[in-house]
Every structure is written in C-alpha cells, then in structure tokens.
A and B are shown apart, each in its own frame.
Chain A
Amino acid sequence: MDKFLTVNAEKCTGCRLCEQVCSVMHEGVSNPAKSRIQVVKWEDEGRYIPMICQQCEDAPCMNVCPVGAISRDKDLGFLSVNHEVCIGCRSCVNICPFGAMNYNKSTHQVFKCDLCGGDPQCVRFCDVKALEFVGSDAVVARKKRDRALQQSEAAAAQS
C-alpha cells in the first residue's frame, strides 16, 4: 500500500486531540500515554511536532525482534505485533528511531500504530491538516508545485 501518514509540523497547533482520539479509539480510555501518536513540543519556541510510526519498509522494529513477532499487513502495509509470540523484551521500543513503538504499563505489552484499519482517527480529527493520509505520489506532486512556485516567484522578483 502506497498511502502513508504525513506530518506538516508547521500547521500543528499543538492541541493534542490526535493523542486523545487515538487512545480512545484503541483503548477506550483517554490517556496520552497510550496513544500511538504523540506531539513533541518546545513550548518556549512555539514548535510542535507530531511523532508517528512511519511503517518503515526496512523496519528496525521488525528486524530487531528476536522472536519474529512483528510482521507486515498485506493489505494496508502497516507493521503489527503478534502478542501471542511477543516476549515483551522491548528491543523494538529501544531501536525505533522515531519513538513510535510504545509500551503499555498496565498490560505490559508493546503497541504501535495500525492506521486504524485504513481510516486513521488522528487524521480524521486533525482540523488544520497537519496530519494527512495520502499516497507518496500526491505528496511529491504537491511539493513539486510548491517549490516550482517559489522558484518562479524568485525569478520574477529578480527580473
């Protein structure tokens, strides 16, 4: 699957509703500690960056898992943890470069983003569209247009 979660941190207002809806959707509780997405903040600069699982192709979590508990979903392409196999060693938590693999203190299990079965709630509730679930070609096309416009404006300003 080509679609992925993109983040435009510039648009993020830091409201953390994504954290809420994620934990309510998956756990039935409101608790940011149990959210698969977390907004990292530097409040004294007004900088907010949502951190999420990138469902990496060459996934460190899957590669490092000593018992092969992590596998890729064929249809949606996300990585999931089989808790029947998982031994809770937290190697995946340790190695994830994004901090996207989490550990639930009450169930003693690791947990991660499963794209809500194709309709990510964080995206659905992000009113400012800091989060989007789109194909990589769409992202590339948009970036090309933005960059082209910038270049054309810069050229116009020079002439």
Chain B
Amino acid sequence: MALDRKIAYIDLTTGKIEIKPIPLEARKKFIGGRGLDAYLLYNHAPKGCDPLGPENPLIVSGGLLTATCASATSRTHVMAKSPLTNLLGSCNMGGFFSAEMAWAGFHHLVITGKAEKPVYLWIHNGEIEIRDAGYLWGKSCTDAQWAIREELDDQEIKSMVIGPAGENLVTYACVMTGIKNSGGRSGMGCVMGAKNLKAVACRGDMDVKIAHPVDALEHNKKFIEQITSAKVNQTQGTLGTPFIWGATNCWGGVRTRNFQYNQMLYADEIEPEAIDDIATETMGPHHMAGCFGCQVHCRAKYKIQTGPLAGKYDEGPEYTSLGAFGSEPDCKKAETVLSANHLVDQYGVDNLEIGSIISWAMELFELGILTTKETAGLELRFGNDAALIEMIHQICNRSSWLGGVLADGGIPASQTIGKNSFDYLIQVKGMNNLHSDERATPALALNIATASRGSDHLRSRPAIDLYHLPEKVLRKIYSSPIPYDGPLSSEHTEYVGKPWQVFWQENCYMAVDSLGICKYHTLFLGATLPNFEDWPEVIYYNTGLEFTPEDIWAAAERCNNLERMFNLREGLKRDDPFKGDTLNHRYFDEPCRRGAPDVVGRTIDREKFSVMIDEFYGHHGWDKAGVPTAETLTRLGLKQEPSHLV
C-alpha cells in the first residue's frame, strides 16, 4: 500500500536513524509530498536557524501517489530553509528517484546534522545506511550517479546527488537525478553540500499495493486520455518546454538583457524548432524522453554538435535554459545554450539563477558598476558567449573574486558590489525571477511577488490567463470546488479578479505537489486538464483513501498557510525589498519596449498592484500585513502548530 511507506529521521552528526510510520491523520491533513514537507519543516526547523547549519532539516519526499500506477507520479520534493533567501527553500524534480525511494519503503526523509566527512545515504528495501562518499566528492552529477551504481553493482539504482556547485556551497546549487532532472530553485544542493551529503541512493523491490487494481488501471487509462488530448501536451511532447519560449518571445513576454527588453531579436538559431533540428539530428525522429509513467514526455534528448563540448549527450534544454543562456545574456548561438545547459547539469546549479545573475553582472559591467578590474579582464558584456560560459565555470568553482561573489546569491552580491547594483537585481525575496516579462500580465506578476519560495512561476501561475477563454469557462474552472461569484476576467492585462485566480492556482499546485504529480498533468497550460474534481477517484483507486475535492482544497490551503507561517517566522514582511511580497521597481517604472500591441508600453500599476495584494491576502484569510488571522488558523486546524504529529 502506498500508505505504508515510512518516514525516516536521519541525523548525520550522530549517525542515528529512526524509522516511523506516517499516521493517517497526517495524510488527511497534509496529504504527502510538498504539503507534508511544509509541516515537517515548520515543526523541525528551529526558528532563525542557519541554513548551512546542522540544525536545518533537509526534507526529501515523494507524493501520496508516488509509485502507484497513476500517471506521472514520480515528482521528488525537497525542502529546507534556503541559503539563498533565508526563507522557505523548496524544489521539485521529475525523473524516477522518488518512485524508487517508495519501492525501497520510504516517502519522506528528514535529514539533520552534518557528517564529519563526505557521505551518501544508501536506502534499500526498508533499510538505510550512511556510507563513505570520499571518492565521489568533486565528481559531476552524472559521474557521481554512475559511480554509485558501479560501487553497489546495480544499474537500476536511482540517486539524488549534488555536483561541484553544491560542494562549493553556491547558494543556488541544485539537486539532480538522472541526466537532467533538477530540483533547481532555492539552493537545496547547497544545503546538502553543507551537510557533507553527496547523494541519496535508492533501490527497492518492495510491493506498493494498489487498493483497487482493476479500477485503478481503467481510471488511469481515462486520465491519460484527458492528459494527452490537450494540444499543449502534444506540442510539449514534440518540442519540449522551449515551445513556450518561442511563442512568448514572438509576443514580447520574455526578458532579455536583464530586463532592458522584453523580446529577443535575431533569435533564429535558438528558436525551439531550430534547436530541435540541430540537437536531435543524431537521435532520430523519436527523441523524447519521459519521466516515470508519463505520456507527455517533454524531455528532448540531444547531442551537442559543435564546440568544445561536441558529442556530449544531455536532455532539454528547457524553456528556462533558453532564457538563462539565450535571451537574458543576449547570446544567440544554439551551441552556447546547449553547452551551458550541459555545464549546469554537470555542476549541479540552478540554470535560472545562474543565467540571471550573470546577466545582471553583464548589465552592471555595461553600466560601469563592474569593471575589468573586478572581472579580471573579462569583457562581461551582453552577447559575449565565451564570457557567459567562463562565468558559469568561475561561479560553480568559486575560482575568481567575481565568481565567488556571484556564488553567494543576488542580495549578498549586491551588498558586496555596492553602488546602486541592487536596483538592477530582478528578484523577489532574494531569488531571481524567471526570464519572463510580466508587465503585461498582472496576474503573473502577483504570482511571482507572493510565491512562498521567492520569485516563482510554479507556485500559483494562472498560465491559462493568456488564452482569452470565454468568461463562463473561467467561471466553471475557478468556482470549483469552492463557489466563487466575484469578478473574473479573461483579459490578461486586467487586475480585477486576478487575485482569486492566483489564489486558486496556488491551492491547485500545492495539491499537485503533495500528490507527487507533474504540473503538466493538471490545469497549468491546458484548460481541460485534470484538477480538484478529478483527483478523488485517482487517490481512492490507488490508495483506498477517501477525499472529496473540498478536502483536497482544504488540505492545500492548510499547507500553503504553513509555508506562509514559516516565512513569517523567518522574517517575511509585506513591503521589505529583501524579504517581502515586492517587485523590482522596473516593473512599475519602465514600460515594455517591444512585442505585440497588447504588450508595448505596459507597466504594472503600483496602486492597483497593492490593491491586488490586499485582495489576495483577503482570499487567504490573512490581514493587511499578510499574516494569517486567528480565525483562519482555527478554521484550518493550525492553531496548535507546531504540533509534532510526525
């Protein structure tokens, strides 16, 4: 039974390991995956703890449905206090890791302490062993994974690892599994590095009993049809996520030259179709890879064709890599995007953050805030492909003064560099923004400003906002499972009604992350994809657990409030430029210069934005400062937190 997967508490300082069942009550209240992670973090992280200290708990999990036969349920979630934001750190990755962890008997790991020497965890059929990782230290993400397989003589071992960036405590180092699945955001790889934990390796052949196997299979078939019938998923399954980049760039919704422009010109070579042609030539016509049990298969397999890394195999590049290594630094060569994508996968560093921070440094260089003195002679200008690649090496290895400074993350770097460098840092809560331009879409701007892990497009993005759906369709979606009769608008430039959409999506994505499903299997880019109404059957047939859509909504709301409470405890304040629900002033002051007529000239209106935040807080049951009211905590059963249920 998926419900009999265990939770393990592992103290790397003492080597003590404690294994416990996950009470049904915890499942009902927090479901699993990210939801239960939020509960565990709130309960186990001491207030104000040092993100790099031994007391910061690193929580690794699979969702409630992970390793069942429900579609695409192998998302791995990792949570800890973030060394990048000093608030909630949280990331989510695809692949096969959490399913293997479930077959090995576990759904959640809470890892505390710090090992004396590099170690890795070996989890096999209900047992956990702390093993020496001395020989793995310094190895790239993929080399480390293959080395573990060799050592333990099993090619089916799945590991979650860090690369040199995590070891060197780059504050936005990521965790990786497989060739390219990365838990990118908020520096969870840095937390692993600080614990001297190189990897968590899993292998198991323990049964995950399905509550109603025949019904589960039939229902899954229906579910798959719903997912693959969406055109957006069919496109995704051919070109991967870059297809969105191409569409958004045409419209004028990407960022280039660190927010100076919102459309990349002369991007022919890195348009998704072009990349697809160059990179997949050797892979044949069918070149897509899927995560566990997934029919969307959005990962493109590629080989780099030219340059120093020619012949290297990798997967992607994702939307974000096109932004990070193409549009933001204004580098126009496919070779650069593919090579940089490969490098960050090997170093184990967040592509978004490193691309952003280098582009920021490029603008500082062009403004004269940074000079060749600080860059050790490097002409760190936009469009200098070689400089971009060089800076990736310098940051991940901390091999130069500037590399070290940028490795500390945006806000500390701006304090070191000084002058008015902070003004040019496009961040929320210390985390850099996705390479999208949200000035024409206030809903998405609200989403990134209020997301719990810092600037984030995967926490509450009402992406269907751009489809101009008939209002009655919107009403059908956003009035369920909780009735809503307030304003809704299918106009993407509108402010009114958007806070409800952002609130609704926030709960939707919390539920998805807690179930362990991928967001392409829910209402993300397709309006007909599954949501609250569709999950109770999947949960019941697979686990036997009974939920109503309202129950799932309530659990999601509860977990979102826990994340908020954690952030408030760690110092979030509504208008704080470093830790608040704020946007860089350029959103308000600099109009979009390029793109379609509905984009050109747009800015975010300060006053209307503030009203949106008030309204958004109101839907949550938070006061004007963004703090959950006593009634809200009572309604959601959070009055007693921390309650140490698990």
Contacts and interface: CB of A to CB of B under 8 A. Distances in A.
Interface in B307-331: 313, 315
A103 B146 CA distance: 26
Nearest to B285: A10
A128 B284 CA distance: 15
Nearest to B315: A46
A31 B217 CA distance: 14
Contact of B142 (A14, A44, A121): A44
Contact of B217 (A25, A43, A48, A105): A25
A21 interface: yes
A24 B217 contact: yes
Interface in A5-48: 10-11, 13-17, 20-21, 24-25, 27-34, 43-46, 48
Nearest to B143: A44
Contacts of A20: 69, 293
Contacts of A32: 103, 205
Given A32-B205, A34-B207, A46-B313, A15 B69 contact: no
Interface stretch (B164-172, B294-302, B402-410): B294-302
Given A15-B294, A29-B208, A124-B221, A10 B313 contact: no
Contacts of A21: 69, 217, 220
A17 B286 contact: no
A71 B295 CA distance: 36
A74 B487 CA distance: 66
B226 to A, nearest CB: 13
A28 B283 contact: no
B179 interface: yes
Interface string B280-292: 0001111111111
A73 interface: no
- In terms of DSSP, what is the predominant structure of the interface of chain A? mixed
A49 B178 CA distance: 17
Interface string B576-610: 00000000000000000000000000000000000
Interface residues of A, number: 31
B245 interface: no
Nearest to A29: B207
B179 A44 contact: yes
Given A24-B213, A33-B205, A16 B293 contact: yes
Interface in A98-148: 105-106, 121, 124-125, 127-128
Contacts of A31: 103, 205-208
Contacts of B301: 46
A29 B210 contact: yes
Given A15-B292, A31-B207, A128 B216 contact: no
B289 A27 contact: no
A105 B205 contact: yes
Interface string A57-84: 0000000000000000000000000000
Contacts of B130: none
A10 B283 CA distance: 9
B371 interface: no
A104 to B, nearest CB: 10
Contacts of A14: 289-290
B210 A15 contact: no
Given A11-B286, A31-B206, 6 more contacts: A16-B292, A24-B216, A31-B205, A31-B207, A44-B142, A105-B205
Q: Which 6 A-B pairs have the closest CB atoms?
A: A33-B205, A15-B290, A46-B301, A13-B290, A29-B207, A13-B297
Interface of A: 10-11, 13-17, 20-21, 24-25, 27-34, 43-46, 48, 105-106, 121, 124-125, 127-128
